[in-house]
Amino acid sequence: MNMIKNLALKALLLVAVAAFITSCNKSRDYKNSSRATGWKMNSKEGGFQYNPKAKEQETGPGLVFVEGGTFTMGRVQDDPMHDWNNSPNQQHVQSFYMDETEVTNLMYLEYLDWLKRVFPPEDENYRRIYDGAVPDTLVWRNRLGFNEVMTNNYLRHPAYADYPVVGVSWLQAVEFSNWRTDRVNELILEEEGFTTRNARYEVEPGETFNTDTYLNAPTQTYGGNDSITRGGKRSESLAKRSKDSTNLYVQRKDGLLLPAYRLPTEAEWEYAALGLVELRNYNVYRGRKKYPWDGQYTRNSKRRNRGDQLANFKQGDGDYGGIAGWSDDGADITAEVKSYEPNDFGLYDMAGNVAEWVADVYRPIVDDEFNDFNYYRGNVYTKNAIGEDGKVKIITADSIVYDTLSNGKIVARNFPGEIAQVPVDENETYLRTQFSESDNRDFRDGDRRSTRHYSSFSDFDSEGSQDGKRMYNSPKHSVTADSTGSLDRQYDQTSSRTTLIDNEVRVYKGGSWRDRDYWLDPAQRRFFPQDMATDYIGFRCAMSRVGSKSKKGKRPRH
């Protein structure tokens, strides 16, 4: 009997020990351990390091969140010209961020001030960097108009500080966006304690910060000056307890640096301008919107502000603002940003004030049969140039590439401190199904496969014998510089040109202070050469959203 009792006690003891061990295993801190291996992460001894506090993307300076969705792109209520360049098509846009307002003169002057300090124009090595970024203020001149006050004052006078910048080409807008990306991320690294405090005010021309350089070759950031790159208090703390030098620098996996500021795509801009969120009913839209605001008219219908204009546009021949008084729209040229109510996304001046550059190369037809997700025409895929030493090539003062534009203006293609880019080659394209070459601007509309005569834009000799066979018979101007720097401008004088469309024309959207309300419809689209500027085209920046589609989880209504 005693023996049976002893056996029962031993069995009970075994069960208790097993239960204890099981409970211990269950209570193991898997939160800080890998779900793949069980190894501890962020261990002082080494191993995989990651940022456990990273949750969702921070909203960058000046931006508002635009939740993505499906919409009918290109649907217009008025099309008297029957251009057939905005046929309705269903598109889906991922969530993204967009500037609350158009880029202002003050914002652009900050960019020019930085360029002037870092790349002084009196230095012959950098003179063209600053000159290539300055807006063309002569766009205000008119042979039968007295506009010299804007020519002399609009960009720099403080009275126009919060007015949208104009006279900026598409290329200049892109360069501003790139600069803005680097300055925002440079400040993030400083505030998080990774780089030396206030070093951004004292950089030399060859020691500038570039986001891509930092992520790909952090030791070459700031011209290889490690005292800046690892001079922050947090970097010093990490260096004391980390054996892995790669963890001394912020990496993409840390989720700290923001994605690039850029121009919005045409689909993004049109979707954001429409602001359909308030018209949504379950999974369909109630009614149709002609403008970024509700209703079919340009005047306010609310009792308090009834009759007030909702945007800045040309109301008729010789009428840029209305009769002076309460019914005046408050502007004759551009207006100060935020002068009118925002749309349902919180975006100002998505109709009127200035038209805006978007990223896309212009084609009459949006090819929704090939793609209806994040539509964009203009992809030119590149990769980092690698030197003979196996490291990425960093642009220096001696390796800046300058482009001569069709109007003779010379601009820098890249700045010191950036990584040199080369077209992708067979190493990236071999046996791929998504893309087969670097330049995809012509794809399905101008390339060999889509042209009746199988001739591309570049397939013509100096005498233009192939001109009649090119899909878009646009003018071909030539601007070259001789050994003294003098420009030889050869204008295309052929009388057989039939179009202005080529790979260097970009879409611009929205109406402006110079336009009738016909152009306020977000679906309307026009194009302009990417290297030229006007007094009615400005721009705003966008930024891609990484992670969740929505900032807030979706819950049922009932």
Q: What is the pLDDT of residue 356?
A: 98
Give the count of domains, the chain: 3
Query: Does residue 174 share a domain with residue 209?
Result: no
Query: Does residue 385 share a domain with residue 371?
Result: no
Contacts of 313 (CB under 8 A, 6+ apart): 298, 329, 351, 352, 511, 512, 513, 515, 516, 517, 519, 520
H helix or E strand, kind and range, residue 280: strand 280-281
Over residues 522-547, mean pLDDT = 96
> Of 389, 424, 459, which one is at a domain's C-terminal end?
424
Q: What is the pLDDT of residue 458?
A: 52
- The answer to whether residue 152 is domain-embedded is yes
pLDDT band at 472; cut points 50, 70, 90: confident
Over residues 505-509, mean pLDDT = 97
Between 493 and 246, the more confident residue is: 493
Query: Does residue 343 share a domain with residue 273?
Result: yes
Q: What is the pLDDT of residue 10?
A: 65
Q: What is the pLDDT of residue 22?
A: 54
Report whether 232 contacts 197 (CB < 8 A): yes
The predicted-structure confidence for 316-359, as pLDDT tens digits, reads as follows 899 898 888 766 788 999 999 999 999 999 999 999 999 999 99
Check whether 486 has a pLDDT greater than 80.
no
The predicted-structure confidence for 124-152, as pLDDT tens digits, reads as follows 888 889 999 999 999 999 999 999 999 99
Report whether 168 contacts 155 (CB < 8 A): no
Over residues 246-258, mean pLDDT = 86
Between 516 and 81, the more confident residue is: 516
pLDDT band at 441; cut points 50, 70, 90: very high
Query: Does residue 289 share a domain with residue 182?
Result: yes
* Enclosing domain of residue 228: 204-238+381-424
Over residues 156-161, mean pLDDT = 97
pLDDT band at 246; cut points 50, 70, 90: low
- Looking at the DSSP bridge assignments, the partners of residue 422 are 383
Over residues 144-165, mean pLDDT = 96
Q: What is the pLDDT of residue 552?
A: 76
Query: Does residue 166 share a domain with residue 118?
Result: yes
The predicted-structure confidence for 225-239, as pLDDT tens digits, reads as follows 888 988 888 777 766
- The answer to whether residue 2 is domain-embedded is no
Q: At what angle do helices 170-191 and 105-118 cross, to 10 degrees?
A: 70
d(CA 558, CA 538): 44
